[in-house]
Amino acid sequence: MANEDSLAGRHALVTGGGRGIGAAIARALLEQGARVTITGRAREALAVTVAELSALGEIDSKEMDVTSAASVAQAFAAAEARFGPVMVLVNNAGQAASSPFLKTGEEVWNQMLAVNLTGTWHCIRAALPAMLEARWGRIVNVASTAGLTGYGYVSAYCAAKHGVVGLTRSLALEVATKGVTVNAVCPGYTETDIVRDAVANIVAKTGRSEEQALAELASSNPQRRLVQPDEVANAVAWLCMPGAGAMNGQAIAVAGGEVM
């Protein structure tokens, strides 16, 4: 049974939950008593995370492609058959591509929007009706500091993440009196596969060492380090708690002071 001190009895669904920030978020929500479904396209990664976290509580996984409305609908239906309506939705699935603006083709542009923005829209549309019916819900969109400021050579990614922040703010106003909150968490460079790919890209294109590439990314953080997945997960989990009901329409940077 749900209560006002934890997420016990509530079903939380985390997209992109097989590794990195998503897996850390799943752990944090399990520790708060939620029943957790993690989704993603990589079946093996999902299975590994479920096995690692199963001792903490009820957790399951569903294969899902956030860019496909049909895939989202099918996965949500299966998840809700297991754990009931989704009352906590964390849109964490994301993808980043780097290239100069004039070398960013339409395929890359569309892919960045599809995964980062339209995927968020698909999942909210699947979860929101049950939240409105229950007059309680938490939606947290994992955006990026790229949704709050500009970065060179990632124009499509920045545009998509700015869209996520705009969607967050707009929907938060629509549901403000209906028991549902909508917020965004905006990590800076975080120690994840996306950052490891960025480091490899810098090494390949500039000839710098891996250590130099990492230092370059970390230099944007006043703390001179990469953010850790658990630090992002802690912010997400707090926004999902019953006691965070006054937090709505916010885009919170988890970036060591990079964006203020």
- Three-state secondary structure string covering 100-156: CHHHCCHHHHHHHHHHHHHHHHHHHHHHHHHHHHHCCEEEEEECCHHHCCCCCCCHH
Q: How many domains does the chain have?
A: 2
Coil, helix or strand at residue 90: strand
Report the distance separating Cα 84 and Cα 141, nearest Å.
21
Do 93 and 214 fall within a single domain?
Answer: no
Do 118 and 195 fall within a single domain?
Answer: no
Task: Please indicate, yes or no, if residue 15 is contained in any of the structural domains.
Answer: yes
Task: Please indicate, yes or no, if residue 5 is contained in any of the structural domains.
Answer: no
Do 114 and 202 fall within a single domain?
Answer: no
How much is the average pLDDT of 184-196? Answer: 88
pLDDT, position 4: 64
Of 151, 153, 157, 189, the catalytic one is 157
pLDDT, position 210: 83
Do 172 and 218 fall within a single domain?
Answer: no
Reply yes or no on whether the pLDDT at 249 is more than 60.
Answer: yes
Task: Please indicate, yes or no, if residue 74 is contained in any of the structural domains.
Answer: yes
Do 53 and 101 fall within a single domain?
Answer: yes
What CATH number is associated with residue 182?
3.40.50.720
Residue 189 annotated to the active site? no
Reply yes or no on whether the pLDDT at 2 is more than 50.
Answer: no
Do 77 and 89 fall within a single domain?
Answer: yes
Rg, Å, the chain Cα set: 18
Do 116 and 196 fall within a single domain?
Answer: no
Q: Which domain holds residue 162?
A: 11-188+229-243
Residue 142 to residues 91, 208, 210, 236, Cα–Cα distance (Å): 6, 30, 27, 8
Do 108 and 71 fall within a single domain?
Answer: yes
- Beta strand 35-40 with 11-15 is parallel
For the segment 30-72, what is each residue's pLDDT rounded down to a tens digit? Answer: 999 999 999 999 999 999 999 999 999 999 999 999 999 999 9
Do 177 and 115 fall within a single domain?
Answer: yes
Do 118 and 199 fall within a single domain?
Answer: no
pTM over 0.85: yes
How much is the average pLDDT of 122-151? Answer: 98
Higher pLDDT: 212 or 245? It is 245
pLDDT, position 205: 81
Reply yes or no on whether the pLDDT at 1 is more than 50.
Answer: no
Report the distance separating Cα 142 and Cα 150, nearest Å.
17
Do 113 and 217 fall within a single domain?
Answer: no
How much is the average pLDDT of 10-26? Answer: 97
pLDDT, position 61: 98
Do 154 and 221 fall within a single domain?
Answer: no
Task: Please indicate, yes or no, if residue 248 is contained in any of the structural domains.
Answer: no
Task: Please indicate, yes or no, if residue 219 is contained in any of the structural domains.
Answer: yes
Reply yes or no on whether the pLDDT at 150 is more than 90.
Answer: yes
pLDDT, position 200: 81
